[in-house]
Structure 1
Amino acid sequence: MTAQHAPAIQVHGLEKSYKELRVLRGVDFDVARGSVFALLGSNGAGKTTAVKILSTLLRADAGTARVNGFDVAAQAADVRESISLTGQFAAVDEILTGRENLVLIARLRHLEDPGRIADDLLERFSLTEAGARKVSTYSGGMRRRLDIAMSLIGDPPVIFLDEPTTGLDPRARIEVWQAVRELAARGTTVLLTTQYLDEAEQLADRIAILHRGRIIVNGTLAELRRLLPPAEVEYVEKQPTLEDVFLTLVGDGDGENGHDRNLGTDAKEPR
């Protein structure tokens, strides 16, 4: 198999323990190039530990892992040049503007024309109008989008997103989802860890469920659905989802398309 057709990430028999606690117990999975792979599991399942090993921040006790063709233990420097890691909390400088954050990272990576790189990423992540504002004024979703934009400087072929929507409100989560879809559309390989079922369902080409340190199932959403008995066909009147209601009421977020609603009562001006 040629390098360009080999999986972007290959994990075989990965094990990791912290004293008596076995966190990973022989984890195996591959991630195809240009795909979104969701590692789904509850808190403590071992998702972050796996990402730390793959991003060379932690050494495995046993097993092998390759990222972009490089062994994470023997070729750590090559792996780090091939990846970007976005952790559970946005790593942005709130004192700087959004554009200044991007320019700073581009300069640290010794890239030519950091201003152009910053402007292109601001446009790509719909942050151009906010680019001159300090990050301290950004919403949670905007900070997260900026964080992801910063991680793409240098065009890494593989990006790790470790629970990227933790603590975000519904609108901010949807903004991050749109950013992840944009990454996949441009051919970036994304390994996404999450504990949210709907997030994996919305974004992933393949989903692996990590439970008590082991992969218990790995497949497409359609394949995972086939693990359950076929659903009985019944006529059910489709009701709007909570997401439908939320987006209809909130609109575009600036108050122009939204509506003030007081559930169960008529809205009245205070006396």
Structure 2
Amino acid sequence: MSKQQASGGKTVARQLIPLAAAAILATASSAPQAQQLLAPDAIVGGYSQSFLSAQMAQWEFALPADINPLLDTTGAHSALGDHGSYFFLASTFSQDPVVRNVTVRTDQTLVFSPVSILFWADAVVNTEADMRTHAAYALGDVSNLSVTLDGAPALLPNGTSSLSQFLQSSPLFPLSLPAGGIVETLFGYPPGVYPAVTLGYTYAMTGLTAGQHQLRFTSTNLSTGPYAGGPPVSYDVTYNITAVPEASTWAMMGLGMLAIGAGALRRRRG
């Protein structure tokens, strides 16, 4: 075998890797799947989902307007939701449907909230009990809750029969509103650190197969109590998701494709 033949054999093997990987991704994305939500009390990345609902609110409200995920209409800043073992998919301020593109890893848990109220202390409402009461008034009556993946409703875990059972009330936490954040920029509220709570519907979904998926979540809420009288507020958010294997999976896939390539090359020589 000449040096040129050896070099050519390696080229064939290298070419087989991306082609085979693309075929695997295409097969995975075309296969229908029924995706299950995690139970509301399931631990995600070492945290309760009620804690993550507070962490997600802090993340959303700490970022400046030009890169804020709540204001993002395309997904250009969706990568900011990557928190390692879990990935935050932000909701929106807009009542028009929002479609975003995002890339996640197949080993990440997706955490998202169709509707959630963040309430922090002020001069009038400043006890934890009062904040929780006012958060409940602001959330009000919720309807039109839906979570679909690839056009099919997400499966409910054992012990739940409705998406309304996923209501999460966060622990009391110190909310940091930075200078230049959206609360100051859009609403003129002074930066600082305030006691706060969240109340809303938070969902967690794990194990998306590699490939293309579409996750959509919706909600409508009508505030009550001192916040009654306004129109209902509806949100409709769609994420076009590209799920990619984690690095170790790609490495193992690459070794497998190298083996296939070497085998094909041997058969070609024979």
Specify the TM-score bucket, using the shorter chain as the normaliser.
under 0.3
The structure with the largest alpha-carbon Rg is 2
TM-score, normalised relative to structure 1: 0.24
Structure number having the greater strand percentage: 2
TM-score, normalised relative to structure 2: 0.24
